[in-house]
Structure 1
Amino acid sequence: MSPQGTSEPSLNNIALLAIVMGFFITGLVYGAPFLIPIVIAALITILLSAAGDRIHRLGLPEPFATLTAVVLFIVLIIAVFNILSAQTNDVARAWPGYVARFNALADQVLGWAGPQLAERIRQSIREIDILNRVPGLLGTAGGIAATLALVALYIGFLLAERGRLGPKIDRLAQGPGEARQIKDAIEDITESVRRYLWIKTILSVVTAGISYVVLKALGVDFAETWALLIFLLNYIPSIGSVLGVVFPALLALVQFETLWEFFVIAVLLAGTQFIIGNVIEPRLMGRSLNLSPFVVMASLAFWGMIWGVIGAFLSVPMTTAFVIVCSHVPSLRWIAILLLADTRAVAGAEVERQAA
């Protein structure tokens, strides 16, 4: 057989894979309104299942343990909503003072730029009319509420379907071996994503709690809201930690008359993010998140481009699931090897279950 003949099948496979990926990405873009609620519901269901299993280990029967996890989740959502609602009026009252302080700081900074450049910058700032954008933002509130209701509905059905997936796979598969392979892939995905979400949630709570103590002790306005925002931003790899420091520090810059509060908050919050994100989190994650740092950042850019801010939150779980699927398909195993940080997680005909 000629060298050209031996390379032809691999080239055909790569071409076929490129075509399939093109259709796949197109489906992700145009199917976002349908797919995003399902993905969010699936991830929350995995997290609730993990919480339910831990409650079950305490001695509560499994159905009641899952129900307890759901009730706690609902209570948490209500508490978050109450915090945001209670501070909305406070933000409105404090906003004029922030604007005046910001203008004063801007005048000081622009004074160093020279009169002509300063006037151009002021003109650009005046052209940004935030008030005209508010109705559009409020207009999306109805869509967000509808999406949340749809997610809640999906979660209910997914929790009800937990015990029915195995028998369905047995009937759909062409044999016990294929059924076992499919179940192994689903189990690997579920366990890896569950471990990632559970550890990430616990560390996000700790990070938000420490940040709240720092902000409250220094008298920063809306410490509760900032703590909630820091908790959510921690799910975005790398960039979320930076934003969790920048936003509260900027508020301190316009809230206080002196700069020392700004520097103290920036240093303490950055130190908290660094210790938890770069020292504690890698030790707890271990090999459950077996993605190279470049792949994490590339997945953040990809899913952010496809699904926006929500895609940034979902980037790591989605990429982890994709890698595990590739590692279970022999013809796609090379993709998993390229994306994994430790290639020993892919060996032979089956994937070693080191990510679980």
Structure 2
Amino acid sequence: MVRILRGLAHKYFSDDEAVILFLILVAGTIFFVLFGAMLAPVIGSLIIAFILQGLVTRLNKLGMPEGLAILLVFLVFLGVLVSFIFGLLPLVWSQVSTLAGETPRIIRELQTYLALLPEEYPHLISTQAVSNIYQQVSTEVGNLTQWLVSFSLSSIPDLVALLIYMVLVPILVFFFLKDRAVLLDAIARMLPPQRPMMLQIWHEVNLQWARYVRGKALEILIVGGSTYVAFKLLGLPYTALLALLVGLSVVIPYIGAAVVTIPVAVIALFAFGWGTHFIWVMVVYGIIQALDGNVLVPVLFSEVNNLHPVLIIVSVLFFGGVWGLWGVFFAIPLATMLKAVFSAWPVKEGAPPSADPDQA
């Protein structure tokens, strides 16, 4: 065992920079696991500033002074934030409340649909199975309704924290944009002066993260906006809520689209019944998903490192389990970072100098 450990240490940790990088990764992971929830506004502000920095850079290339570019981009960010808080958020919450009020009618219609299944498909589904499904759905919907009713009282501390975040996040975003060079220089001074491997990983990860995060934000806006327009023209209820869900579903490749299809189909079924209108809704929804996967994603992410679908799914499950929603959103960038680290990691072949080749 000792010989195996010495061999691994010689192969992967002979370089001093590799040891320092390994310690930084371990310390960073422990830090975010322990204090990630506490520093959520800081992390969120960093992410937003990272996205906005691309707009600042583009304006700089067009000849606009950096200070003016930062101010203009920050004002645009504030406008979008205010529009979301006072425009989209109340509309979505209103539709969620209305949907909760119509839950009893949906359950009754669901029971009617389920009761017909054993008669039409007696060899595939039994009456007992339908009863179990109905009881499970009724329980889950009842829990959801109870949560919505008690939300206004139990979530007052969360609302206070949200109000604090609404003040802190814009301030932090502004200073991250304004003092970006100063902050990066301060971090660089804490690292070894000679760090070619770290610089290689930084450049690759920074480039890939920038392309992915900004592309994903743009994809959410395009998919969510087009879904809202299409569902609104088709007369589907709860359009804002469904458009928000469909837009956010692109965050989780493969899994998100499959999961969000269920509420879209259920609401369309209860709104229009089983008929031509329902089919049109599902066809339009399928077209949006197809255009997203076959046109929009290749255009936005053509220069992003391709990861195997199995690695993407494993990354979503793992990082989502560790960091929740943020872990799901950054599962692919984190997997890309690990890929860059493994690609740049120095590997020294051969046996350790003190090893005896004759030993078994």
Same-fold status (TM-score > 0.5): yes
Given the superposition, is the C-alpha separation of residues 331 and 148 from structure 1 closer, same or farther in structure 2, using an over 3 Å criterion?
A: farther
Amino acid at match of 1:160: K
Q: Which of structure 1's runs of 4+ aligned residues deviate more than 6 A?
A: 11-24
Where does residue 337 of structure 1 map in the other structure?
A: none
Count of equivalent residues? 328
Where does residue 225 of structure 2 map in the other structure?
A: 209
Where does residue 10 of structure 1 map in the other structure?
A: 8
Contact 1:181 1:328 in 2 (8 A): yes
Of the three residues 111, 115, 129, the one matched with 1:110 is 115
Task: For 1:54 and 1:18, locate their aligned partners in 2 and report how far apart those are by CA, in whole Å.
Answer: 34
Measured after TM superposition, the shift of residue 65 of structure 1 is: 1.3
Measured after TM superposition, the shift of residue 83 of structure 1 is: 2.1
Task: For 1:37 and 1:121, locate their aligned partners in 2 and report how far apart those are by CA, in whole Å.
Answer: 41
Where does residue 344 of structure 1 map in the other structure?
A: none
The answer as to 2:300 corresponding to 1:288 is no
Measured after TM superposition, the shift of residue 221 of structure 1 is: 1.7
What are the equivalent positions in structure 2 for 1:180-259 lying under 5 Å apart?
181-259=197-275
Given the superposition, is the C-alpha separation of residues 150 and 297 from structure 1 closer, same or farther in structure 2, using an over 3 Å criterion?
A: farther
Measured after TM superposition, the shift of residue 296 of structure 1 is: 1.4
Identity level (%): 22
Stretch deviating more after TM superposition (16-25 or 147-156)? 16-25
Structure 2: 5+ residue stretches without partners: 14-18, 119-125, 349-360
Measured after TM superposition, the shift of residue 170 of structure 1 is: 5.6
TM-score (norm 2): 0.75
Of the three residues 72, 76, 79, the one matched with 2:83 is 79
Measured after TM superposition, the shift of residue 45 of structure 1 is: 1.2
Amino acid at match of 1:286: S
Measured after TM superposition, the shift of residue 322 of structure 1 is: 3.3
Where does residue 42 of structure 1 map in the other structure?
A: 46
Measured after TM superposition, the shift of residue 320 of structure 1 is: 2.2
Of the three residues 132, 147, 154, the one matched with 1:133 is 147
Task: For 1:170 and 1:102, locate their aligned partners in 2 and report how far apart those are by CA, in whole Å.
Answer: 59
Measured after TM superposition, the shift of residue 171 of structure 1 is: 3.8
Amino acid at match of 2:291: I
Task: For 1:19 and 1:211, locate their aligned partners in 2 and report how far apart those are by CA, in whole Å.
Answer: 45
Measured after TM superposition, the shift of residue 132 of structure 1 is: 2.7
Measured after TM superposition, the shift of residue 27 of structure 1 is: 4.8
Task: For 1:224 and 1:36, locate their aligned partners in 2 and report how far apart those are by CA, in whole Å.
Answer: 26
Amino acid at match of 1:105: L
Where does residue 263 of structure 1 map in the other structure?
A: 279
Stretch deviating more after TM superposition (323-332 or 55-64)? 323-332
Contact 2:265 2:282 in 1 (8 A): yes
Task: For 1:58 and 1:241, locate their aligned partners in 2 and report how far apart those are by CA, in whole Å.
Answer: 38
Given the superposition, is the C-alpha separation of residues 283 and 94 from structure 1 closer, same or farther in structure 2, using an over 3 Å criterion?
A: closer
Given the superposition, is the C-alpha separation of residues 246 and 80 from structure 1 closer, same or farther in structure 2, using an over 3 Å criterion?
A: farther
The answer as to 2:174 corresponding to 1:156 is yes
Measured after TM superposition, the shift of residue 267 of structure 1 is: 2.3
Where does residue 330 of structure 1 map in the other structure?
A: 346
Structure 2 counterpart SS, 1:289: coil
Of the three residues 246, 266, 273, the one matched with 2:289 is 273
Larger Rg: 2
Contact 2:78 2:170 in 1 (8 A): no
Contact 2:12 2:347 in 1 (8 A): no
Structure 1 counterpart SS, 2:330: helix
Structure 1: 5+ residue stretches without partners: 333-356
Measured after TM superposition, the shift of residue 311 of structure 1 is: 1.6
Identify which of structures 1 and 2 has the higher relative contact order when contacts are C-alpha pairs closer than 8 Å and 6+ apart: 2
Task: For 1:143 and 1:296, locate their aligned partners in 2 and report how far apart those are by CA, in whole Å.
Answer: 33
Task: For 2:22 and 2:60, locate their aligned partners in 1 and report how far apart those are by CA, in whole Å.
Answer: 45
Amino acid at match of 1:103: R
Task: For 2:189 and 2:81, locate their aligned partners in 1 and report how far apart those are by CA, in whole Å.
Answer: 39
Structure 2 counterpart SS, 1:330: coil
Given the superposition, is the C-alpha separation of residues 23 and 56 from structure 1 closer, same or farther in structure 2, using an over 3 Å criterion?
A: closer
Contact 1:212 1:224 in 2 (8 A): yes
Where does residue 356 of structure 2 map in the other structure?
A: none
Amino acid at match of 2:8: S
Where does residue 342 of structure 1 map in the other structure?
A: none
Given the superposition, is the C-alpha separation of residues 110 and 153 from structure 1 closer, same or farther in structure 2, using an over 3 Å criterion?
A: farther
Where does residue 30 of structure 1 map in the other structure?
A: 34
Structure 1 counterpart SS, 2:38: helix
Contact 1:246 1:266 in 2 (8 A): no
Measured after TM superposition, the shift of residue 50 of structure 1 is: 0.5
Stretch deviating more after TM superposition (53-62 or 65-74)? 53-62
Given the superposition, is the C-alpha separation of residues 278 and 39 from structure 1 closer, same or farther in structure 2, using an over 3 Å criterion?
A: farther
Contact 1:102 1:254 in 2 (8 A): no
Contact 1:84 1:225 in 2 (8 A): no
Amino acid at match of 2:51: L
Task: For 1:104 and 1:22, locate their aligned partners in 2 and report how far apart those are by CA, in whole Å.
Answer: 53
Task: For 1:120 and 1:276, locate their aligned partners in 2 and report how far apart those are by CA, in whole Å.
Answer: 37
Residues 19-47 of structure 1 show CA distances to partners (whole Å, capped at 9, x for unaligned) of 99888765544333135444332221111
Measured after TM superposition, the shift of residue 299 of structure 1 is: 0.8
Contact 1:199 1:285 in 2 (8 A): yes
What are the equivalent positions in structure 2 for 1:61-100 lying under 5 Å apart?
61-81=65-85, 82-89=87-94, 91-93=96-98, 95-97=100-102, 99-100=104-105
